[in-house]
Every structure is written in structure tokens, then in C-alpha cells.
């Protein structure tokens, strides 16, 4: 109940400001030339974000739905996430070289999902770092990811092979050039969620723990742990640890906008599944339930919701059945 209190009201109060913000020119993928037209946007001192489409995977957007970032620290570039394909990684590298002459020193994958690391091929000559559990997940699931993305994205994936991170990293604080970077391990979106806090600029690179204006993906979710991690992030924000949030999916924002939105969705989703199972509804009936208006316009709706329900609802049904049989 503590988590729920005020969440809906907070979301309602901040959405107007979010939607009223100036429109950002996002990259427009060109399927005729297979050019992502990546457009770096400076968001803080030495810090650029390359924003992906707030959407689901599709050939029209080149399956470029992730926000990647880089920091030119003065002693080398730090790259955060490498995108969905070898082509993205190559064009990301060219884009960075067009902004700074500093060499790339560090590349981070924030979790095991393919849009975070399938561009690693373009960075094979650099240490590509991720949490140990993330690397294990990339190794275990990479081939299945590739099969799915080749089907969804077509020739955007040409010559792409799953290339897991090559350097395990543990939580730590590093000073790289003029930037103090803190690497923290949380969990919930996946079993190993790396977040990067730049204490020099107050920017949080939140990975998949925070979504904004897009339905969260849940294939590796632990909902309770995810909500706990959101509480931790909210505490950090309120304590002044960070000011600006770069989610991996959705618009950049300040404060706890994305934290509140993600929490609101997860609480609604899990409550809907639990109560529906207790009522004895089957999956087809749950799929037909109305979505609250505050979520209706979010990107990847209803496909992402349908995927979550198909994966998780049978477990709620089994739990309800086991409880009633006691």
C-alpha cells in the first residue's frame, strides 16, 4: 500500500508537463538505405544520448527502440548500450567519432536484452563490460534472440551475431577523466540490472528498470524485486543522487516521472492478474479486460501487455488454484 499511495496522482500531475515539453527530433531509420540516421543530443556536460523510437520492434524503425548514450570524459569515451544490430553498433561508433576525437575506453551493457548488446560486434576491439549474471544471460539466450530479431527486423540484422560482453564488472565507483561514475547493481527487470550514476552531471542511466510512456517489458521480471528497486531509485532521487533520468526506453525526464509510471504499471498489472485468477477468469478473458485510460496511449500497447499476460498469467492461475485447494 505504501508504494501505491499517491502514485496515480503523481503520474497524472507530471504527464502534462512531460507531454508539453519541446519535441525532440528523433532518428528516423531509412529502410531504403539501412541508415539509422542517429542523432546525438547533448543533455549534460560532455554527455550525449542517441534516442530510439518510443515503439515496439519493427522494420520501419529499424528495430531501433533503445536509448544509447556516451560520455566524453576528457580521458576517453564511456559508451552505454550498443543497440540492436551490428549495423547499429557501427553507425553508433561513427556517430561518436563525429562528436569527439577521444578514444572509447569503456563500453557497458546494462542488461541481457538484445537491444542492449547486439551492437557489441562493432566494439570487439574494446572492453565491453556487464555484470556477471548479464553476461551469463547473454551467452545463454543470444542465439534465440538472434532468431527472433532476424524475423522481426529483416535485413537490418544482416551479418549480426550475438556477441556477449567480454569483461565482467562488479559494482564500484570509478573516476574517468572529469566524471565520477558509480556502477550499481539492482534487480527486478532482469536478475542483474546495472545502473550508472554520473555524480558529476547528476544523470542516471537507468537501463530497463525505468520505462517512460512505453509499456514495460517483462520476460525476465521479478515484480517484487523490481518494485523494491524502484523504491531504491526514488530514494536516491529524493536524496539528490541524480536529477536527470535516461531510461533505455522512452523520453528522457527529470525527477521521478518514469519511476512513478513504471511502478504504477507494475502494480496495476500484478493486481489485475492476481484478482483475475482469484475470480477464475481464463487468459482469453483477461486479455479482453479494458486497460486504464492512463496507460492506453503508451507505446507498444497492447502487444507488450499481451506478451506479459501470456507469460505470467498462467502462474497466477496456478497459485490461485493451489491456494483454493488447501
> In this structure, which CATH number among 3.30.420.40, 3.40.50.800, 3.30.70.3170, 3.60.15.10 belongs to the domain 24-256?
3.60.15.10
- 9-18, 81-90, 198-207, 210-219: lowest mean pLDDT where? 9-18
**Mean pLDDT of the 109-133 span:** 98
- Residue 2's pLDDT band (cuts 50, 70, 90): very low
Q: Where are the domains of the chain?
A: 24-256
Residue 26 pLDDT: 55
For the cut 60, the answer to whether the pLDDT of residue 18 exceeds it is: no
Non-local CB neighbours of 254 within 8 Å, separated by 6+ positions = 243, 244, 245
3-class DSSP assignment, residue 75: coil
Per-residue pLDDT reduced to its tens digit, 171-212: 999 999 999 999 999 999 999 999 999 999 999 999 999 999
For the cut 60, the answer to whether the pLDDT of residue 14 exceeds it is: no
Region for 63 from its dihedrals, namely left if φ exceeds 0, alpha if ψ lies in -120 to 50, beta otherwise: left
Query: Chain-wide mean pLDDT for the chain?
Result: 92
Q: CA-to-CA distance for 305 and 273, rounded, in angstroms?
A: 11
Provide, rounded to the nearest whole percent, the portion of the chain with pLDDT above 70.
Answer: 91
Residue 165 pLDDT: 99
DSSP E strand stretches across 47-192: 47-50, 68-72, 77-80, 104-108, 128-130, 167-168, 172-176, 179-186
Q: Read out DSSP for 296-319? A: HTSBTTTHHHHHHHHHHHHHHHHH
Residue 111 pLDDT: 99
- Residue 3's pLDDT band (cuts 50, 70, 90): very low
Residue 325 pLDDT: 66
Amino acid at each position: 500500500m505504501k508504494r501505491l499511495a499517491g502514485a496515480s496522482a503523481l503520474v497524472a500531475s507530471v504527464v502534462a508537463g512531460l507531454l508539453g515539453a519541446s519535441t525532440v527530433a528523433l532518428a528516423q531509420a531509412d529502410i531504403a538505405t539501412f541508415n539509422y540516421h542517429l542523432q546525438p543530443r547533448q543533455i549534460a556536460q560532455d554527455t550525449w544520448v542517441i534516442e530510439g523510437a518510443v515503439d515496439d520492434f519493427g522494420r520501419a524503425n529499424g528495430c531501433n527502440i533503445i536509448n544509447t548514450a556516451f560520455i566524453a570524459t576528457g580521458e576517453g569515451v564511456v559508451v552505454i548500450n550498443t543497440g540492436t544490430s551490428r549495423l547499429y553498433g557501427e553507425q553508433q561508433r561513427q556517430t561518436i567519432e563525429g562528436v569527439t576525437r577521444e578514444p572509447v575506453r569503456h563500453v557497458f551493457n546494462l542488461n541481457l536484452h538484445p537491444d542492449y548488446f547486439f551492437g557489441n560486434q562493432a566494439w570487439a576491439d574494446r572492453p565491453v563490460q556487464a555484470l556477471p549474471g548479464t553476461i551469463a544471460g547473454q551467452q545463454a539466450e543470444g542465439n534465440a534472440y538472434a532468431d527472433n530479431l532476424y524475423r522481426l527486423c529483416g535485413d537490418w540484422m544482416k551479418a549480426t551475431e550475438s556477441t556477449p560482453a567480454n569483461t565482467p564488472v562488479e559494482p564500484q565507483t570509478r573516476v574517468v577523466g572529469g566524471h565520477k561514475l558509480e556502477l550499481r547493481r539492482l534487480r527486478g527487470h532482469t536478475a542483474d540490472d546495472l545502473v550508472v550514476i554520473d555524480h558529476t552531471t547528476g544523470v542516471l542511466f537507468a537501463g530497463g528498470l525505468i520505462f517512460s510512456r512505453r509499456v514495460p517489458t517483462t520476460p525476465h521480471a521479478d515484480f517484487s524485486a523490481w518494485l523494491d528497486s524502484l523504491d531504491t531509485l526514488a530514494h536516491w532521487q529524493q536524496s539528490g543522487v541524480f536529477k536527470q533520468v535516461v531510461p533505455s526506453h522512452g523520453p528522457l525526464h527529470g525527477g521521478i516521472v518514469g519511476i512513478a509510471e513504471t511502478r504504477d504499471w507494475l502494480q496495476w498489472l500484478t493486481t489485475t492478474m492476481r484478482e483475475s485468477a482469484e475470480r477464475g477468469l481464463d487468459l482469453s478473458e483477461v486479455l479482453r479486460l479494458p486497460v486504464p485510460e492512463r496507460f492506453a496511449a503508451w507505446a507498444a500497447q497492447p502487444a507488450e501487455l499481451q506478451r506479459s499476460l501470456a507469460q505470467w498469467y498462467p502462474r497466477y492461475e496456478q497459485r490461485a488454484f493451489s491456494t483454493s485447494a488447501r
